Amino acid sequence: MKNYLMGSNRRNNDIFGDMFDDFFKPFYLADSKREMKTDVKETENGYEVSIDMPGYDKKDINLSLKDGYLTVKAEKTEKEEDNKKYVLRERSVSCARSYYLGEEVSEEDIKAKYQDGTLYIDIKKKEEKPALPKNIQID
């Protein structure tokens, strides 16, 4: 597996970066990259991913693997109270972020735990077996 986990949505030669994206984005939408700060470390056996997700419970978080993409989704909702009128409400949010791992990773190669507001994901590298010479029988 190559270092597929790294990447950026930044456009080439864009001196303003994401400034205009943030400016024109409605204030009520969550930005998953800002909300889900991620660190990725490469180890001998794979990758260790740490994602900050404060305020979520373990039951709010869902991990899925499809077509080589590991997707982390979280959704937090609070009960509506009829007698309260909110002027601003930002704490009921959902967010999602995907990381490309490659096609050779399976669900069995991924372990995750959630502790103290941080999601820890351990991804094992696929063992590369050296190609052994194969004798072909001649008929």
* Any domain includes 13: no
Per-residue model confidence as pLDDT tens digits over 7-33: 444 444 444 444 444 444 444 444 555
Predicted confidence at residue 40, as pLDDT, reads 92
- Residue 6 inside a domain? The answer is no
Flag whether 94 is in a domain: yes
Residue 14 lies in a domain: no
Q: What is the DSSP string of the chain?
A: --STT----PPTT-TTTTHHHHHHS-TTS--HHHHS-EEEEE-SSEEEEEEE-TT--GGGEEEEEETTEEEEEEE------TT---S---SS-EEEEEEE--TT--GGGEEEEEETTEEEEEEEPPPPPPPPP------
Greatest Cα pair distance in the chain: 86
Task: Give the count of domains, the chain.
Answer: 1
pLDDT tens per residue across span 90-129: 776 788 999 998 887 888 889 999 999 999 999 998 777 7
Enter the pTM of the model: 0.65
CATH code for position 37: 2.60.40.790
pLDDT tens, residue by residue, 26-61: 444 445 556 789 999 988 888 999 999 988 999 999
Look up the domain containing 59 and give its range. 19-80+87-124
Two structure tokens written together for 34: 């800002």
